[in-house]
């Protein structure tokens, strides 16, 4: 195996492929367009796996990420972030090269962008179905109509439809709640679509959070799905019960530095700058990752009672069982399953496959 | 001013210099060695400011960081992290070039390192005075004595003394609590020192958290201080009342993307991958940063009622006052004062000075 000296993100490519195949099959069965979000992996090499499976359209979260993938031949990209008007030069560059899909949630943005556009882009209106992060709130039909009318008026913007991210599924208590949020949100979008039919006849609906996309099999009422996290999954998704442990495709290998037997704690070289400080609260405890023993083919199984208790810049402190302690010594490598794989991948900036190959990250 | 298109970390170098001068003056008055922790800034250019003020010895948090600064001429470096035995090649390289100070908190680490050492290093025993992260617990005198005896036995390791980080000061409710933790911890270390006097006669005491070092004026009983965060400070330090608002030397400039007047919220391009996901809880609310309006010479003053409410990968959602909303429009640049400047600097990987010069980060 690849020699590890410091926190290193490992990737199980077989799991990546399985996660991709499963999602692709679903999209095909439902006859929806599959436009995976590449913000999770941010990797040209992982992007190529998607390409091999016929994926042609992608989603990214910044114009810089769009540039990174456009340079590698991706020519149909949605930037799933309301347009940043001051990056107009990047927008114009991309518009001259690829099919660029932008998101709008204000009249001002539509006006400023259209005034400064040199090439053609596609435009979606971003709808907030209850997550309350970005987008026009679904109840504000007056504003929605106003923005859509303004988008349609523009020569250089082709209005495509409604785009939403049901991010509130991440805060669900169980699978039924996720499905309920999904169905309510899809209903909301279709209701808006029907109310806009006098303004525009051909309105696409694009959605795409991993919890919904993992649990829903029939995407009726939707034209496009944009999940991202599903390609790796993580402990957050496992705790939401939207993936199985054997679907999680990344884990951070890290050196064991010290063992404090009295307090059943282990110090590892793996801190907030490696894992990110994302956490979840389970039974009143804040967890920053789940440590597992390494095994011949990668990382071992999750065992109850082991978790990352705290993270500082470079220090990770594990709370572990007697059994876990017995199985490790200083200088060993253990793995940590991240709470949020997207942020961990972004922090570590590269991957190593289980057979020791280096894989790029933007 | 420097043109901003995406999240960019700005640095007020005048404040950096003032923070440095204040800490230096204190160290001089108390006649303690000043060995600042460079993990906060991780910058050669900022390192040079320290150099101009006569600083010769530094602290870092990883061997890679030691290599980065050693290459720039720093030749007396403490790696304030219990030694990672599998990075022995880096240790041997550094030992051949510079005065390298390592931390030990287990007999195993002492034995393994000394067996593989090619050059000479200095060794400290890391003591845990109650923070319970790394180090030998102060009450375990048997273990402390065992490790110190083992360190003294080694030809290639020169035993220097006791090193501790009073990280529990970060969780204090007020200044008295910080001072109490400091005094108790210094007493603990001196007590250990006196109990070790039959084993070794010349034992240094090295300490160094920013809260203590900012509040304490008389460092009696201490030989060396190693604060790091003080050079920038941040909102966490302000909330602990160990710095003033005008001491905070870094803030993230970020574009305003959308304004949601109904919910008094603003979407900015600045997410968890820029600010880090560190937060503090104040009055039951989790805060991820403090937004302030930009002004002629940098960033404006903190005003009550404005805070970063949530962060996703690239999205930052601000909860703001009516007044704040009135003062911004999309495309504007606002600033966010980070909760934890070390993690924000590590995430953004470079700085821009207020007069527009780019400053390196490791």
Q: Does B309 touch chain A (CB under 8 A)?
A: no
Best of A2, A7, A41, A81 to mutate (most B CBs within 10 Å, chain B): A81
Q: Strands A121-128 and A136-137: what pairing?
A: parallel
Alpha helices in B71-219 (DSSP H): 88-97, 107-116, 141-153, 175-195, 210-215
The answer to whether residue A81 sits within a structural domain is: yes
Q: Which of B341, B6, B131, B142 lies closest to A64, judged by CA? A: B6
Give the tens place of pLDDT for each residue, B283-309: 999 999 999 999 988 999 999 999 999
pLDDT of residue B1: 60
| β-strand partners of B282 | B285
Q: Who among B61, B140, B255 is closest to A84 (CB)?
A: B255
- The three-class DSSP label of residue A254 is strand
Domain containing residue A156? 37-227
Domain boundary among A196, A227, A258: A227
The answer to whether residue A22 sits within a structural domain is: no
Q: What is the DSSP string of B29-68?
A: HHT-EE--BTTTT--HHHHHHHHHTT---EEESSHHHHHH
Q: What CATH number has the domain bearing residue B318?
A: 2.40.37.20
Chain B residue closest to A262 (CA)?
B137
Measuring CA to CA, how many Å separate A268 from each of A6, A253, A259, A331, B65? 10, 10, 9, 10, 17
The answer to whether residue B6 sits within a structural domain is: no
Check CB contact under 8 Å for A86 and B272. Answer: no
Best of B254, B286, B312, B325 to mutate (most A CBs within 10 Å, chain A): B312
Token representation of residue A240: 């939401």
In angstroms, the CA A75 to CA A359 distance is: 22
**DSSP H or E run through A335:** strand A333-337
pLDDT of residue A321: 98
In angstroms, the CA B103 to CA B83 distance is: 6
For CA atoms A36, A38, A40, A45, give the dihedral sign.
positive
Q: What is the DSSP string of A140-202?
A: -HHHHHHHHHHHHH-SSEEEEEEE---GGGGG-SSHHHHHHHHHHHHHHHHHHHHHTTTT-S-
- The three-class DSSP label of residue B298 is strand
Q: Are residues A209 and A89 in the same domain?
A: yes
- The average confidence (pLDDT) of chain B is 97
Check CB contact under 8 Å for A87 and B134. Answer: no
Distance of CA A291 to the CA centre of its chain: 22
Chain B residue closest to A313 (CA)?
B343
- The three-class DSSP label of residue B161 is strand
The answer to whether residue B20 sits within a structural domain is: yes
Which residues in chain B are closer than 8 Å to A81, comparing Cβ atoms? 257, 269, 314-315
Q: Are residues B219 and B251 in the same domain?
A: no
Check CB contact under 8 Å for B258 and A82. Answer: yes
Q: Are residues A284 and A202 in the same domain?
A: no
The answer to whether residue A31 sits within a structural domain is: no
Contacts of A338 (CB under 8 A, 6+ apart): A234, A235, A250, A251, A252, A275, A276, A278, A289, A344
Check CB contact under 8 Å for A106 and B347. Answer: no
Token representation of residue B153: 């036995």
Mean pLDDT by 10 residues, chain B (362 residues): 90 98 97 98 98 98 98 98 98 98 98 97 97 95 98 97 94 93 97 96 96 96 98 97 98 98 97 97 95 93 97 97 97 98 97 96 94
Residue with tokens 């705790």: A239
Contacts of B285 (CB under 8 A, 6+ apart): B307, B309
Give the number of other Cβ atoms within 10 Å of residue A305's Cβ: 11
How far A2 CA lies from chain B's nearest CA (Å)? 14
| β-strand partners of B29 | none
How far B279 CA lies from chain A's nearest CA (Å)? 9
Mean pLDDT by 10 residues, chain A (362 residues): 90 98 97 98 98 98 98 98 98 98 98 97 97 95 98 97 94 93 97 96 96 96 98 97 98 98 97 97 95 93 97 97 97 98 97 96 94
Measuring CA to CA, how many Å separate B246 from each of A205, B1, B14, B252, B343? 49, 20, 11, 16, 20
Scanning A333-352 for CB atoms below 8 A from B yields: 342-343, 346-347
Token representation of residue A117: 């556009």
- 3-state SS of chain B: helix, strand, coil percent to 5? 35, 25, 35
Q: Are residues B250 and B128 in the same domain?
A: no
**DSSP H or E run through B253:** strand B250-260
**Eight-state DSSP code of residue A284:** T
Check CB contact under 8 Å for A329 and B108. Answer: yes
In terms of Cβ atoms closer than 10 Å to its own Cβ (0-12, 13-18, 19+), residue A142 is exposed
The answer to whether residue B127 sits within a structural domain is: yes
pLDDT of residue B2: 78
Q: Does B116 touch chain A (CB under 8 A)?
A: no
In angstroms, the CA B15 to CA B250 distance is: 9
Distance of CA A213 to the CA centre of its chain: 12
**DSSP H or E run through B341:** helix B341-348
Q: Does A116 touch chain B (CB under 8 A)?
A: no
For helices B175-195 and B141-153, give the axis angle rounded to 10 degrees: 60
Check CB contact under 8 Å for B86 and A343. Answer: no
Q: Are residues A211 and A326 in the same domain?
A: no
pLDDT of residue A1: 60
Residue with tokens 């690239």: B314
A96-101 long-range contacts (CB < 8 A, ≥24 apart) are A97/A70, A98/A66, A98/A70, A98/A74, A99/A75, A100/A66, A101/A76, A101/A77, A101/A160
Q: What CATH number has the domain bearing residue A141?
A: 3.20.20.10
Q: Who among A81, A273, A314 is closest to B314 (CB)?
A: A81
Scanning B198-257 for CB atoms below 8 A from A yields: 255, 257
Q: Are residues A177 and A257 in the same domain?
A: no
Q: Does A1 touch chain B (CB under 8 A)?
A: no
Q: Are residues B65 and B103 in the same domain?
A: yes
Which residues in chain A are closer than 8 Å to B315, comparing Cβ atoms? 81, 133-134
Check CB contact under 8 Å for B167 and A312. Answer: yes
Are the CB atoms for B348 and B252 separated by under 8 Å? yes
Check CB contact under 8 Å for B273 and A132. Answer: no
Which residues in chain A are closer than 8 Å to B4, comparing Cβ atoms? 86
Domain boundary among A197, A227, A257: A227
Give the number of other Cβ atoms within 10 Å of residue A28's Cβ: 11
Q: Are residues A156 and A43 in the same domain?
A: yes
Contacts of A110 (CB under 8 A, 6+ apart): A104, A123, A147, A150, A151, A154, A157
For helices B107-116 and B141-153, give the axis angle rounded to 10 degrees: 10
Q: Does A107 touch chain B (CB under 8 A)?
A: no
Residue with tokens 């899909």: A101
Q: Are residues B197 and B93 in the same domain?
A: yes
- The three-class DSSP label of residue B80 is strand
Q: What's the domain count of chain A?
A: 2
Q: Strands B204-207 and B157-163: what pairing?
A: parallel
pTM (predicted TM-score): 0.96
Check CB contact under 8 Å for B312 and A64. Answer: no
Token representation of residue A104: 């709008």
| β-strand partners of A157 | A121
Residue with tokens 């884990």: A251
Give the number of other Cβ atoms within 10 Å of residue B129's Cβ: 24
Check CB contact under 8 Å for A257 and B330. Answer: no
Domain boundary among B178, B201, B233: B233
Q: Are residues B199 and B295 in the same domain?
A: no
Q: Which of B161, B100, B164 lies closest to B126, judged by CA? A: B164
Angle at A148 between CA A144 and CA A149, to 5 degrees: 115
The answer to whether residue B7 sits within a structural domain is: no
Q: Does A310 touch chain B (CB under 8 A)?
A: yes
The answer to whether residue B239 sits within a structural domain is: no
Distance of CA A302 to the CA centre of its chain: 23
Q: Are residues B82 and B151 in the same domain?
A: yes
Alpha helices in A57-118 (DSSP H): 63-70, 88-97, 107-116
Q: Which of B148, B152, B218 lies closest to B183, judged by CA? A: B218
Q: Are residues A212 and A126 in the same domain?
A: yes
pLDDT of residue B342: 97
Check CB contact under 8 Å for A269 and B81. Answer: yes
- The three-class DSSP label of residue A37 is strand
pLDDT of residue A257: 98
Q: For B3, phi and psi rounded to 5 degrees?
A: -80, 130
Residue with tokens 């640049």: B333
């Amino acid at each position: 195996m690849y020699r590890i000296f410091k926190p290193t993100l490992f990737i199980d490519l077989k799991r990546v492929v399985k996660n991709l195949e499963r999602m692709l099959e679903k999209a095909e069965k439902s006859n929806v367009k599959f436009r995976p979000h590449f913000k999770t992996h941010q990797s040209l090499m992982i992007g190529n796996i998607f390409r091999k499976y016929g994926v042609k359209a992608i989603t990214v979260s910044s114009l810089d990420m769009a540039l990174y993938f456009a340079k590698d031949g991706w020519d149909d990209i949605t930037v799933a972030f309301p347009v940043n008007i001051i990056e107009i030069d990047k927008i114009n560059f991309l518009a001259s090269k690829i099919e660029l899909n932008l998101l709008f949630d204000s009249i001002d943005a539509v006006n400023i962008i259209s005034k400064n556009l040199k090439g053609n882009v596609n435009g979606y209106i971003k709808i907030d179905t209850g997550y309350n992060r970005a987008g026009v709130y679904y109840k504000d039909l007056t504003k929605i109509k106003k923005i859509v009318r303004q988008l349609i008026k523009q020569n250089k913007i082709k209005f495509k439809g409604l785009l939403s991210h049901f991010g509130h599924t991440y805060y669900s208590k169980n699978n039924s709640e996720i499905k309920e949020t999904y169905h309510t949100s899809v209903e909301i979008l279709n209701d808006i679509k029907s109310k806009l039919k006098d303004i525009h006849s051909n309105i696409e609906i694009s959605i795409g959070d991993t919890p919904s996309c993992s649990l829903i099999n029939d995407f009726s009422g939707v034209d496009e799905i944009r999940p991202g996290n599903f390609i790796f999954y993580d402990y957050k998704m496992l705790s939401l019960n939207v993936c199985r442990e054997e679907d999680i495709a990344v884990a951070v290998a890290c050196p064991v530095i010290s063992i404090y037997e009295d307090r059943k704690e282990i110090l590892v070289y793996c801190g907030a700058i490696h894992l990110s400080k994302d956490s979840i609260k389970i039974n009143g405890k804040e967890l920053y990752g789940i440590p597992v023993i390494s095994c011949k083919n990668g990382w071992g199984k999750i065992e109850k009672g082991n978790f990352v208790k705290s993270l500082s810049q470079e220090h990770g402190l594990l709370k572990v069982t007697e059994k876990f302690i017995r199985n490790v010594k200083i200088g060993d490598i253990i793995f940590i399953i991240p709470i949020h794989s997207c942020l961990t991948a972004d922090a570590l900036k590269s991957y190593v496959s289980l057979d020791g190959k280096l894989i790029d990250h933007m």
